[in-house]
Amino acid sequence: MITILISFSLIGLLFVQYNLIKLEIEIQKEKFDDEIDDVLLDMHHRIEDDEEISNNLILLIGDKVPVGKRDSLEKYMVTEIKGFTDSILTSRELGFLDYDFAFYQRYEDTVAFSSALNPYQPDYTKYATKAGWRIREAYGEGIFRFGLLFYNKSLYVVYQIFSILIITTLFILILLGSFFSTFMVLNRQKRISQLKNDFINNLTHELKTPIFASSILYKIIKEKRYNFSEEELDHYLSLLEKENHLLKNKVEKVLELTVLERENPGLNLKEINLHDIILQKAEIYRIIIQERDGDLRSNLLAENHLIQGDSMHIGNIIDNLLDNAIKYSDKSPEIEITTQNQSDSVLLIIRDNGIGVESTDLPFIFDKFFRVSQGDLHQTKGFGLGLSYVKMMTELHGGTLIFESKFGKGSTITLQFPLKINRNLNRNDSKNFTG
């Protein structure tokens, strides 16, 4: 509704402004006509007062010039008449106008003498005046008139309203820019609001499963713990631990959303061993991968793997990447974790053989709540926060990341962390990584 109201208001303002400019153009055209009327009056007086000009015009108009002298007399007269016409126009600040003049026979609509290459120009009648009393006495009253034909009179209008056009255009562009900017913001906010609603609904649904399962397992253990063998008790405790781990992951997703909503979440930076965190996470996920007949390989080749960072968030980064690699796999997961040193940094590379990402989805994979096209994996659960969180946290640690993927062939993500970084890090401190 707001967008519609703004649109109608904008269209209305443009319509009003268009009519105001149109009205101003008409006013300036009338003003131009008045200016030219004064010019023609001056021309009339100049021709009447100049006996030589009038007599030469009588010869040219009546075709009374001796043979062989007409061309030279025409050139002379064009120069003379153009000269004082230019001076009159210049005195009225109209010297920029491009024009031709003509003495034409009023009733037969023919040109007797003109400065134009094409003498037949009926438009000479629009701006015309009397040719002078001497010509009137020679040929009769009202037979010949003096007229001007302007080729660029629109420049006069443009010149007069130029400042108005510039200011109007500027404000219209600002208005249009503001409108489209507002429209994009409203559209984006609507989309984010919908995505957040979907996130909350999805989260509520996914939290119910581990909570319900944990509650059932707890009751079973409580009621039958004395009847269980040691192996049976271990089995149920293992299931309970698994559901609690799943619940913990869901809660961490909510915390990740909170982090993403803040400009600076506040990192607890200290020196940490990247390999220790990788090995810890790999041990947990290797069990899950092996249950699907997959394999998780670690090639920790970096000799220097001490970085300054927040161990919880670095661990969450690895959690998200391994979790994605498992979820978005339509066969037995084959995942490889590699580290290596490059200059003053350590690279963390995770490759998988999953479904990959469509090229059309690649520009949006780091957007909040965005989930890639999943092919036939319609039951894949998630909130679309993982890679957005990974990107934010990597950059807050002074690092960069590159995501490469081919649909149907898997993905590779490369994270670069500096070995020595300043404690007062922010997103603008990161350098481009082309590795």
409 in the same domain as 276? yes
Query: What range defines the domain where residue 249 resides?
Result: 160-259
CA distance 346 to 349: 10
**Tokens 């268009």 sit at which residue?**
18
What CATH number is associated with residue 168?
1.10.287.130
Q: With respect to residue 114, please indicate whether it lies within any of the assigned structural domains.
A: yes
Using the 3D structure, point to which of 106, 132, 152 is the last residue of a domain: 152
Residue 129 and residue 43 in contact, taking contact as beta carbons nearer than 8 Å = yes
Q: With respect to residue 435, please indicate whether it lies within any of the assigned structural domains.
A: no
Walk along the chain (435 residues) and give the pLDDT tens digit of each residue: 666 777 777 788 888 888 888 888 889 889 999 999 999 999 999 888 888 988 988 888 888 888 788 888 989 999 999 998 999 999 988 989 999 998 988 877 688 888 887 656 567 888 998 888 888 888 888 888 899 999 888 888 888 888 888 888 888 888 888 878 877 887 777 777 776 776 676 666 567 667 777 788 788 888 877 788 878 877 878 777 777 777 776 676 666 666 656 656 677 889 999 999 999 888 888 878 888 899 999 999 999 999 999 888 898 899 889 988 988 888 899 999 999 999 899 999 999 999 988 888 888 888 776 766 554 444 455 556 678 889 988 998 999 999 999 888 899 999 999 996 444 444 444 333 333
420 in the same domain as 274? yes
Q: Return the axis-axis angle of helices 311-327 and 274-291, rounded to nearest 10°.
A: 30
What confidence score (pLDDT) does residue 157 get? 85
212 in the same domain as 142? no
117 in the same domain as 14? yes
357 in the same domain as 243? no
147 in the same domain as 167? no
CA distance 287 to 417: 28
Q: With respect to residue 411, please indicate whether it lies within any of the assigned structural domains.
A: yes
Residue 416 and residue 401 in contact, taking contact as beta carbons nearer than 8 Å = yes
What confidence score (pLDDT) does residue 185 get? 82
316 in the same domain as 213? no
Residue 372 and residue 387 in contact, taking contact as beta carbons nearer than 8 Å = no
Q: With respect to residue 28, please indicate whether it lies within any of the assigned structural domains.
A: yes
Q: What's the total number of domains in the chain?
A: 3
- 3-class secondary structure per residue, 138-183: HHCCCCEEEEEEECCCHHHHHHHHHHHHHHHHHHHHHHHHHHHHHH
219 in the same domain as 200? yes
DSSP code of residue 106: T
The structure's pTM equals 0.48
Please compute, for residue 414, the number of CA atoms within 13 A of its CA located in the half-sphere on the CB side: 14
76 in the same domain as 166? no
What confidence score (pLDDT) does residue 264 get? 63
CA distance 407 to 256: 27
What confidence score (pLDDT) does residue 88 get? 92
What CATH number is associated with residue 315?
3.30.565.10
